[in-house]
A and B are shown apart, each in its own frame.
Chain A
Amino acid sequence: NAGVTQTPKFQVLKTGQSMTLQCAQDMNHNSMYWYRQDPGMGLRLIYYSASEGTTDKGEVPNGYNVSRLNKREFSLRLESAAPSQTSVYFCASSEGDSYYGYTFGSGTRLTVV
């Protein structure tokens, strides 16, 4: 019962470094999402992929890129990390649009120093 798996769970980066957050789901879901969670701000959508081969911007896409590698995997890349990107990042998946509800991973805590 893996559900949505995110790696790594923790990461510390120096300003300007790059990294990729990995996400994989084993529920045969069509849609996948990346959110960031900051204190007092709830979760904000960074990018989403409605189906394999498509990606779209969410509320806060600047500074990020994504790749829907296949139906199972959706990665988030920070090309040049900034302290403002210190956050907890959550990946989620769903059968389709929001009607179905989302299944979330356990998160990646990223600190940029």
Chain B
Amino acid sequence: AQSVTQLDSQVPVFEEAPVELRCNYSSSVSVYLFWYVQYPNQGLQLLLKYLSGSTLVKGINGFEAEFNKSQTSFHLRKPSVHISDTAEYFCASSMDSSYKLIFGSGTRLLVRP
């Protein structure tokens, strides 16, 4: 069965430091991969997505993610975080042409001054 694992439930980091949020997926077929962000008391917004092609994907707000097929990972990175990046981040995957998007349990990014 398809699954997404986010190993870190919370990641504290100081402002202007780099950050990596980890995501591993399981699927034996081609997948689409996504990162969504949820700010407090709001719905989810799409940060970036990997569909095919280049393994490095750039998204909004300076975030990027790298698809690694051999390690079945899709880690999210930002070289310098801001206070405003404090939010919960969800990794998600789906199989090619599927309507079922499977989410990980989320990672809460806490940026401290």
Residues of A within 8 A of B (CB): 4, 31, 33, 35, 40-45, 48, 50, 56, 58-59, 90, 92, 97-99, 101-107
Interface residues on B, range: 20 to 34
Residue among A40, A43, A106 with the most chain B CB within 10 A?
A43
Whether B90 pairs with A31 at a CB distance below 8 angstroms is no
CB distance from B62 to the nearest CB of A (A): 19
When chains A and B are docked, how far (Å) is the Cα of A105 from the Cα of B42? 8
Given contacts A104-B36, A104-B43, 13 further A-B contacts (CB under 8 A): A31-B99, A33-B99, A33-B101, A35-B103, A41-B105, A43-B44, A43-B90, A90-B43, A98-B99, A101-B34, A101-B46, A102-B44, A107-B42
Whether B43 pairs with A40 at a CB distance below 8 angstroms is no
- In the complex, chain A residues whose CB is within 8 Å of the CB of B100: 45, 48, 58-59, 98
- In the complex, chain B residues whose CB is within 8 Å of the CB of A35: 103
Closest to A50 in B: B99
Residues of B within 8 A of A (CB): 4, 6, 9, 32, 34, 36, 41-46, 49, 51, 90, 94, 97-106
- 22 A-B residue contacts at CB 8 Å? A31-B99, A43-B44, A43-B103, A44-B103, A45-B102, A48-B100, A59-B100, A90-B43, A90-B44, A97-B94, A97-B99, A98-B32, A98-B34, A98-B94, A98-B100, A99-B32, A99-B97, A101-B49, A102-B101, A103-B46, A106-B43, A107-B41
- In the complex, chain B residues whose CB is within 8 Å of the CB of A103: 46
Whether B42 pairs with A106 at a CB distance below 8 angstroms is yes
Instruction: Knowing A58-B100, A97-B97, say if A42 contacts B42 (CB, 8 Å).
Output: no
Whether B44 pairs with A104 at a CB distance below 8 angstroms is yes
Whether A56 pairs with B99 at a CB distance below 8 angstroms is yes
When chains A and B are docked, how far (Å) is the Cα of A98 from the Cα of B93? 9
Whether A4 pairs with B43 at a CB distance below 8 angstroms is yes
CB distance from A31 to the nearest CB of B (A): 6
